[in-house]
Chains A and B, each alone.
Chain A
């Protein structure tokens, strides 16, 4: 569909000039109320054009010849919400290296030099729900800048050295993230509200950065960037028809994004939590309260906007007057309505206060919110809030960029073009009863979660009056799971396959290639929480997807079975089914077994790394990765070709915390033509967790009927 429209509809501002003439309650002289306010002239929407190109890209153009400049901004439906777990930072890195890493025909440094010498700017970013680009140049340089911008969006180079540079900067950011209290508060509060697993609440860590490769950026870009989800706003000193032609040419042939848009991750409904992030050197606290809000098409939107203005939206607000001015409790305070264009926003009340009034600030803020849901606001408060919104409405039209950006926002998120007009009408008809109704429907003081960042030793209370207090550990995790892996080359990948060919031959040759399954019995002596435990493990695998693992511990026995895509577990607590992700985990257990890695390596990405010494032996190293971003680093004895150590991501046995798992293999022994280590050692984060022996190993075992059946 292709459509060009020209629009210059006058928008009448119905400003209630007479509304200021309210009768004076006391005998106060208010000269400012006697000042005449002439009616405000008509305001016109700027002349603009909306054009949709054949490739789906939407353009909004407005000519403005006052200054010899052009300004272009692109908004793309590609955000951090699409970032895979374990690779937090990928979206932001893509947004940076898109610009710094160069394009098919320009290196990043060449773009820097060109832009700096022109005094032009081209910048790109990826944020929560969207990505974008911005260009500003003098008219005479517009063509060059546009050509570069188009190449950046279409064919970024993602140069490896610029990715490294960005990673260095992000690592410095991680190291510094606890230096300023506000940054702690912002970060931890989004975890409190969204839950730690929401893509927008996950923390970037040294390890998540380490897991990101250049290919991930290439994929992120190809998956989510495309003309079909790009909106351009172009304003400045140009002829609209000519500019449309230039943009059309610059973006012709840009392929659509590879993946369909999934649904946005939901903003969860969470119960109240009470959280303290301790930082002993602070003399002030940041206190934030909040819960999930609404989308702007909610019927209570206008009511909530008015209510928020009264609660904490400005100088006339209750929080400002109660918390800051009257009680001198806080040096800053306010609230945010919690309305959002795309997803429900977050209703928030906050205060910056001295340590000694931390709890009191929270109490007073909750009281004020409760009052909003209990009693109607006063006529005067309502009048002030409504006048404020209506009188400032003209500023929604005071820059062309703002008007066009808003059109893009409405179009992207499915709001009618006259949304603001309707909103204004609703605000005009607002009553105290409607405000109360909105507050009661949306604000729930009892589920407000609490976060305080500060020094709890100086707090006036431990906040337990709000519920069980969770201490937020803001310690920055040291890197442990990720490895610094150089970029793969065709040579290193071929060499990796060769090394694993040799290892497979050394372990079992033909027998391994024909393997249908195996059964093995191992004994383990483990140290768990200061206790020494002896464990016996019997593993039976029938390929491709059946597994039985019997573990015998001094205090009981457990059996886990995977049979196809589901399974079961029997423990002293009874029998439970295993399905979904847990079943997939067991499947990974089969596929991740050393024998399987060796048998099936041709189908995996296996990169040879430089050889290293390990326990006095020279070892070849192969880095094997799968689609989930999990890796196995295999150390192969240069002399024999046999594996001597496997390194991978693991989980600590009791806490389930991620750890680096290493298994060292020793004393290989022949079990019917297959070499298995007679002894092995398991290390978590380089600490010995267990030593073990292989007592039996049978290739292609025969299993009785019902062997995998649920009891």
Chain B
């Protein structure tokens, strides 16, 4: 329920599972023929795939909004909103929505007053601060008195729901679970009402509790998590990927419910939503229920991002000193999913650092034994906007990060100088096809993929036609693109240097 997807390690897995597809789409025509779709007047696009083997279904709601849509001051808000989407509506999760709304208003005012005093820092009046803290706590308690805790989750669970989860990334936010197929209308009610009329109750409790603690767990208390966050901060400047999805700690402290409501209003609009439903359901029934329960989602036009970085003019490099073991990352700027060379980036990442026969694995892990893991992938931290091709290495015991960097650079240079063999590229294409076939298994996986391709790339068919793009990659393409991107000026490096704990 609070997973931030597309953290670095997970992204590597996803790069294999979702991203790269190759070879022909023939043979999957059956599935393509069975996909049906419709769009509501407010812009929400629905994709339906009927599979009647077992009386269950899964769905994925793709919201084309992630942390990239945040600005300084409200970083982390896309993730907070994802948590809020489980808090219910005016009907679910409250004993009295009207009285609760008044109590929440009082709570917001108490927080606003407290925030003003807190911002004074050392000049704050301690007595006043204490009084305001108390008033805020009291207001929170008063609002909480109307809360029916976790009712949304309980309804899903009580009705046999499985796999209820959500994830926020830089590019998008996704909501998913599965239900027995006789609960289709219940699902439409639950999903439609929370997407069109969520109540952001328990906002401060959730933000200051689970959300903040999640940041600590992923970043402050995780040396590799900290490294990855700062690597991203350094590689992107004005670009919306500059800040991490979990958000700055100080923003988490100061964001208000109104900020969150504004973010919802701006971005959770029909045109940003794609819902895929896969399983033992009927298209006509989904269409009827969608019209009934999803019509309340806003039909407004979402804003677009127009701020990006100028080309990098020199290597950027940083070190984290910690008692933890060393870790190495470097990244090179590349284009987004729509770039003409997108399939070539995937091929390069695959040959360089995916699987047991990749060049980095062969060199660092098998031959030099200087690393225990080495991999690379295209599209960190997302691929909706210009992004990075990243290389990661986990050094063996008693090996420093700088030591494996030498071998990483040598392998990259070799790729630029000598290119790749036809066999290597054929392997990429064959693997991509097998991975693509694997990704078609299961209602949940299909729903996720169909909504992702439709939502981000505008057409679910690209999930199939991308096979052709990677099939068209030549060895010349690989060398050309490698020479273009793997230049030191385009590089950002970050690593952990192990130091003794300070006593």
Contact = CB atoms under 8 A, between A and B. Distances in A.
Interface of A: 13, 15, 17, 20, 26, 28-32, 35-41, 43, 67-69, 100, 109, 112-113, 115-120, 136-138, 164-165, 168-169, 171-176, 179-181, 280-284, 314-316, 320-321, 324-326, 328, 330-332, 352-354, 384, 387-388, 390-395, 397-399
Contacts of A316: 150, 153-154, 157-158
Contacts of B441: 67
Contact of B213 (A15, A30, A31, A354): A354
A172 B185 contact: no
B413 interface: no
B202 interface: yes
Contacts of A391: 158-160, 180
A470 to B, nearest CB: 22
Interface string B196-235: 0000001001001110111011001111100000000000
B352 to A, nearest CB: 13
A353 B221 CA distance: 12
Closest 5 CB pairs of A and B: A391-B160, A119-B434, A315-B153, A331-B213, A392-B160
B57 to A, nearest CB: 10
B175 to A, nearest CB: 15
A457 B91 CA distance: 45
A15 B160 CA distance: 10
Interface string B421-452: 00100110011111101101111000000000
A288 to B, nearest CB: 15
Given A35-B186, A117-B423, A325-B149, A43 B54 contact: yes
Contacts of A173: 372
Nearest to B205: A328
A593 B158 CA distance: 70
B434 A118 contact: yes
A30 B91 contact: yes
Interface stretch (B266-274, B375-383, B392-400): B392-400
B302 interface: no
Contact of B178 (A118, A315, A352, A395): A395
Given A117-B423, A281-B323, A394-B55, A17 B182 contact: yes
Contacts of A112: 355-357
B77 to A, nearest CB: 18
Given A119-B430, A315-B150, A321-B150, A172 B160 contact: no
A47 to B, nearest CB: 12
Given A117-B427, A321-B150, A43 B55 contact: yes
Interface string B285-302: 000000000000000000
A285 to B, nearest CB: 10
Contact of B180 (A181, A331, A394): A394
A328 B209 contact: yes
Contacts of A314: 153-154, 157
B501 interface: yes
Contact of A398 (B56, B202, B205): B56
Contact of A384 (B154, B185, B442): B154
B366 interface: yes
Contact of B397 (A20, A29, A175, A393): A175
Given A28-B95, A112-B356, A168-B369, A39 B182 contact: yes
B160 A171 contact: no
Given A15-B180, A395-B178, A32 B92 contact: yes
Contacts of B54: 43, 394, 397-398
Contacts of B159: 20, 387-388, 391
Contacts of A390: 160
B76 interface: no
B325 interface: yes
B355 A116 contact: yes
A116 B153 contact: no
Given A168-B369, A281-B501, A321-B150, A40 B180 contact: yes
Contacts of B161: 392
B426 A117 contact: yes
Nearest to B222: A180
B27 interface: yes
Interface residues of B, number: 77
B434 A138 contact: yes
B160 A393 contact: yes
Contacts of B224: 179
B190 interface: yes
25 contacts: A15-B160, A32-B186, A35-B189, A68-B27, A112-B357, A117-B430, A165-B369, A172-B397, A173-B372, A176-B324, A281-B221, A281-B501, A283-B220, A315-B152, A316-B154, A324-B209, A325-B149, A325-B202, A325-B205, A354-B216, A388-B159, A392-B157, A392-B162, A393-B160, A395-B160
Contacts of B372: 168-169, 172-173
A390 B157 CA distance: 11
Given A119-B435, A168-B372, 13 more contacts: A15-B160, A17-B182, A67-B440, A116-B356, A116-B431, A117-B423, A137-B434, A172-B325, A283-B220, A321-B150, A325-B205, A331-B217, A388-B160
Contacts of A388: 157-160
B445 to A, nearest CB: 11
Nearest to A279: B221
B357 A69 contact: no
Contacts of A174: 397
B4 to A, nearest CB: 13
Contacts of A328: 205, 208-209
B376 to A, nearest CB: 15
Contacts of B394: 172
B140 to A, nearest CB: 9
A548 B357 CA distance: 61
B183 interface: yes
A173 to B, nearest CB: 8
Contacts of B180: 15, 40, 391-392, 394
A37 B182 contact: yes
Nearest to B56: A398
Most chain A CB atoms below 10 A, which of B221, B223, B432: B221
Nearest to A177: B325
B155 interface: yes
A395 B325 contact: no
Contacts of B369: 164-165, 168
A93 to B, nearest CB: 14
A395 B162 contact: yes
Contacts of B186: 32, 35, 37
A331 B212 CA distance: 8
A320 B324 contact: no
Contacts of A67: 437, 440-441
A395 B441 CA distance: 15
A181 B92 CA distance: 36
B481 to A, nearest CB: 21
A548 to B, nearest CB: 47
A169 B356 CA distance: 14
Interface string B139-152: 00000100001101
Contact of A325 (B150, B162, B365, B430): B150
B39 interface: no
Contacts of A164: 369
